Amino acid sequence: MKTEHDGERPGISRRTLLARTGAAAAALAVGPVLGGVQPAMAASWRVPGEDESHRRTWMAWPSSYTIWGNLLSKIQADIAKLAKEVAKYEPVIMCADGSSAASQARTACGSTVTVISSIPVSDCWMRDTGPLFRIDDAGGLDAFGLNFNAWGENATTFYGLPASAYDKDRTVAPKVAAYGGAPFAKASVVGEGGGIEYDGDGTLMATESCWLNGNRNPGKSRSQVEAELLSRFGASKMIWLPGVTGQDVTDGHIDGTARYIRPGVVMVQLAGAVRPDVWTANAQAIRDTLAAATDARGRRLQVLTIEGPDTLPRIQAGKRAEFLSSYMNWAVTNQAIITTQFGDTAKDAAAKSAIAAAYGRPVVQLNLDNLYGNGGGGAHCVTMQEPNR
């Protein structure tokens, strides 16, 4: 096992700076590991890279006024827009919280998106709440969950939301797996799918700020967390990256800054002029760490870079520093990459060209300002792929 370097409600943005709570650092709540932990499966199982073939994409329809307040309809509009785009390239199943929400989602998303009401959801962040699907060489499929605890209970610490607001999302993973006919197990660590990147070929990368955090994995060492993640993902090497603690509700998820394109190739977004200094420095540190890294196969990583936008012309000046201005938080589909555009014409075009060249697939850029701004998450955060086998 190898390791590399050792009017609108303000309270719902997943990346609102902690300063808005009136403290430079918060005492973060500790969430328990959910019960029923099972041993990790055999090493022949692996989570495929996102560039591999998908059976479908899973999403979740937001319908909680407790969480979103008056912004709910705007977030729903962006979720519907994204779901309809993903459905052009692969099937989409949208989980909705009951028959009324399902009816609303069907009207908004149209007939190309399959909406089900049998899996109750609290919110839209399927990347963090859903299961990680695995395959093996014999054509098997199973899944595991990362014991979602509302980002280390930061939803309560940051925004004052009751812990019960996310009760349904804490049980989404096994229900999605069961719908797909996949045996399910719970990992012995707590985290989120957006907090880890995997190439499907033996290598993981993640930020220490998410996983080695007392609000998720109190009392666990880095080696313990690493061993469990490697075993679950069917990987043999972890690249630990610097992160940012206490500046957003996720504690610095990796999927807004660095992503695998394919085994041996990663892309990093260096911050544009609108990002606060803490994120600018962190992006450069992640780039530098990856440039010096090798993967599980001994390959020196090829590190591609793009730059974030320098301006957000559609966003009020006072809200720009909190906006998730990340092209990286894209959704991979079987035939296209779906990301965002921010209205910075030159940077939008450069990012689209670079991502298309890296993947060899068309890139679709959507205006998802409400999701990325008021929601603080993006296309990757609200989608979870189920692989073909």
| CA neighbor of 307 nearest in space, from 288, 282, 326 | 326
| CA neighbor of 42 nearest in space, from 135, 108, 111 | 135
For 48-163, strand residue ranges (E) read: 54-60, 92-95, 114-116, 132-135, 141-145
Q: Token pair for residue 278?
A: 């803490």
Instruction: In whole angstroms, give the CA distance from residue 375 to residue 110.
Output: 23
Instruction: In whole angstroms, give the CA distance from residue 95 to residue 98.
Output: 9
Instruction: In whole angstroms, give the CA distance from residue 136 to residue 220.
Output: 29
Instruction: In whole angstroms, give the CA distance from residue 343 to residue 366.
Output: 10
Longest dimension (CA), the chain: 55
Please tell me which residue in 95, 109, 210, 381 is annotated as part of the active site: 381
Helices 99-109 and 72-86: angle between axes, nearest 10 degrees? 60
- The residue behind tokens 């033996």 is 202
Instruction: In whole angstroms, give the CA distance from residue 4 to residue 295.
Output: 9
User: Quick one: DSSP state of residue 87?
Assistant: T
For the question of residue 381 being annotated catalytic, the response is yes
Task: Report, as residue numbers or ranges, the catalytic residues.
Answer: 381
